[in-house]
Chain A
Amino acid sequence: MRRKQQENQTTGTRGATRREALRGAGLALAGLAAGAPGRAFGAPAVKRKVKIVYWSPLDHSQPNPRSRAEKQMVDMFRERHPDIEVEVQAVPWQQMDSRVIQAAAAGRAPDVAQLSTYGLPLHIPARSLQPLDGWVGKRWTKADWDDFVLPVSNTTYNGKLMGVYWNSLLCSALWYRTDLLEEKGLGVPQSWDELGKTAAALQTDRRVGYIIGLSKDGNAVGLTNWLIPAFWAAGTEVLHEDGRAAFDNEKGAMALEWLADMVYKYKATPPSIVSTTRDQMTDAFAAGTAAFTHLSSNVVATARKGQFGKFLGIAPSPGPERGKPQPALVTGKFLVMSKDCKEQEAAGLFIEHMLSPEAQLVNAKLAAEPPSRKSVLKDPWFQTPEAADMRIQLEYMADHPHPWKYHPKNNFLADLFAGGAQDMIQNRRPAREVLSQIAKRWNAEIEL
């Protein structure tokens, strides 16, 4: 019963608010947003010296843009709150959810953690978190709450706020090499068919046309970040309201079949994608051995620093029809307070700081991460050439929204999709048959 309630909540009311929020982000970007608060939230000091432990997927000793940005955000907090010691512990993002759940089961979870985009729903049945109500946002006004790009309802379970968005994340956009397109006099592909043909045209002995990763590594985000909006673009939802599979139809098969076409029809993608990970997609593009890929907004800054960074072009992901991009899969990373957090006041202040417009602006400038707050977008920096990538991504998010909230058993679904896609490529199995098998196993899993 409890699970049913959670699932209903997961797949329930979520559409309109997100759409409005995303539109709001676009408006703010265009300088038209109403005067959302740009001030820092009131932040009183705690009464005694305390220490909190923060688990981050970013290693602050590393020189990459994302790590530098978060370190600066945390240092700002340390300056403002010398009475609160923050110990940052790096945990690989692929392992963050399982580590937090295991640590919580052992009563040793960190005070604050940054969860991956699909992670939060998993922690609700695992009871590894505590609600933020009363600790985060207790001094916030309605305008403060409305300032979030993604709706707070996405992170509310059973009426309790369980997490807040640390950033906004466009999970999948088309990445292409501007120099290669120019060299061949080709335009940016506007449909799946065009992407197949253009990628094939740019392929050489030493460069693949298009790369995607079907590995199960990292909860198969290399595949699912593209596949979920591809289902939407093809005209089907991923799950029904009750959580059962909705992708098991001809439209769903059309999306998956395109991957097989990229390998066997257009021959623009090597069969080796069956073992390619999301990180290898990033590496391949950075190394100049792939002309096209689909990647997320949080790795743009790192890619820009690479050898071919100056040739990186970003565009909305094409859909099956020309001129109709795939809806944008937008989510974010979450800041949460574990059930073992004893210093809730300090942890609450830390979370509020990381969400403050100043901290979010640092993250946007240094790490090119779209902020979780609309008011941040009013900063003049967003109109500068350095923010061009961000503008493209924010416009895509605002113009092509689609409601989405991950199912608590998303990991299992992602695992099935990756296994099925590998099977389809490796054994040349029809997409429709693969999807039916996935649907059967998924429905059996959620009915357990």
Chain B
Amino acid sequence: MPAKPGAGAALLGQYRLPVLFLGPAVLLVLLVNFIPLGYALVYSVYRTEFVQRVSFLGFRYYLRFLTDPEGLNNILRTFQYVFGSLALALPLGLLIALLIHRVEKGKTFFRTLIILPWVVSQIITALTWSWLVNPQFGPVTYFVREGFGGAFNALGTPTGAMATLILANVWHSFPYPMLLILAALQTVPREAIEAALVEGASRWTRLFRIRLPLIRNTILIATVMMTIHYFNMVTLPLVLTGGGPAGATEVMAIRVYREAFQLFHVGYASAIAVYMFLFNILFSIIYIRILRGEGHA
């Protein structure tokens, strides 16, 4: 059926304002995210020499990564790093948000103090922690050695290096969920809490039955954001452990960095980066489904 004359113009007029507002942002996202992603997809199916595409390989790099023991190690280490960090940073962020929420005086001071690690750049965080646990002259090493005796070698063993990396990351990133959760806690209706108090609900009941369910969506959004952030982190692990020892902390992001910018295997690095993108999408979908599912329930 032919459109009514002037319908298109009316439609355009109706959406002109949203288009004007959203257009620049959409354009920016396209330029900054989708064009590089497109390049990565193209490069990932070519054998490359530096940044030149040499010959078409199809999905050989994708297969290589999944069949290469180093590739599987990278995936395993990434999961350890991402979920190990999440498992500590989220509860810590929640705990501190709950504590600050209860503070009557000096809330701004504590909030500012606790957000400082998040403000510090990843490179400074990494250098600070590497100095703290340096096996020759680090103060942590010194106190452990003096206090407990024996050698302390935080970055020299696979378990110690991953644990240190996760701790450094948690220290750096927990203020982010803390801030989001603190903001969400302030939106919990006072009436709901007062009604629970009248009903004689205990502190734990108020927390688990009222506050947490009401800020559940914020916690899930923080989880999505932090998962993506941790997956894509390069600087902190690269500077703190360099992926070592013996590949024990070589997460996928470090592998991409090394393959692309140190070894100049741009095609292979692109294939690994596409896997990272797919993992990010996958986990985002899972979280969103949980969010929607619980919302419907």
Contacts and interface: CB of A to CB of B under 8 A. Distances in A.
Contacts of A275: 155-156, 161, 241-242, 244-245
Interface stretch (B187-195, B218-226, B255-263): B255-263
Contacts of B241: 275
Given A280-B134, A289-B137, A98 B262 contact: yes
B246 interface: yes
Interface-central residue, B135, B161, B243, B261, by most chain A CB under 10 Å: B135
A359 interface: no
Contact of B244 (A105, A125, A205, A274): A274
B277 interface: no
B49 interface: yes
A215 B262 CA distance: 14
B56 interface: no
A423 B244 contact: no
Interface size on A, as a range, is: 35 or more
Interface string A102-145: 10010000000000000000100111000000000000000000
B116 interface: no
B244 A287 contact: no
B136 A287 contact: yes
Interface string B119-146: 0000000000010001111000000010
Contacts of A409: 263
Interface residues of B, number: 29
B136 A290 contact: yes
Interface in A266-299: 270-277, 280, 283-284, 287, 289-290
A101 B50 contact: yes
A270 B135 CA distance: 9
Contacts, number: 93
Nearest to A277: B242
Nearest to B164: A275
A233 to B, nearest CB: 26
Nearest to A287: B137
A284 B246 CA distance: 22
B254 to A, nearest CB: 9
Contacts of B135: 270, 272, 276
A236 interface: no
A411 B261 CA distance: 10
B261 A216 contact: no
B62 interface: no
Contact of B158 (A105, A276, A283, A426): A426
Interface in A414-448: 415, 418-419, 422-423, 425-427, 448
Interface string A236-277: 000000000000000000000000000000000011111111
Contact of A102 (B151, B155, B242, B261): B261
A101 B52 CA distance: 12
6 contacts: A95-B261, A272-B155, A273-B156, A275-B161, A284-B136, A426-B246
**Leading 9 A-B pairs by shortest Cβ distance:** A272-B156, A274-B245, A289-B136, A272-B135, A422-B246, A98-B261, A275-B155, A284-B136, A126-B50
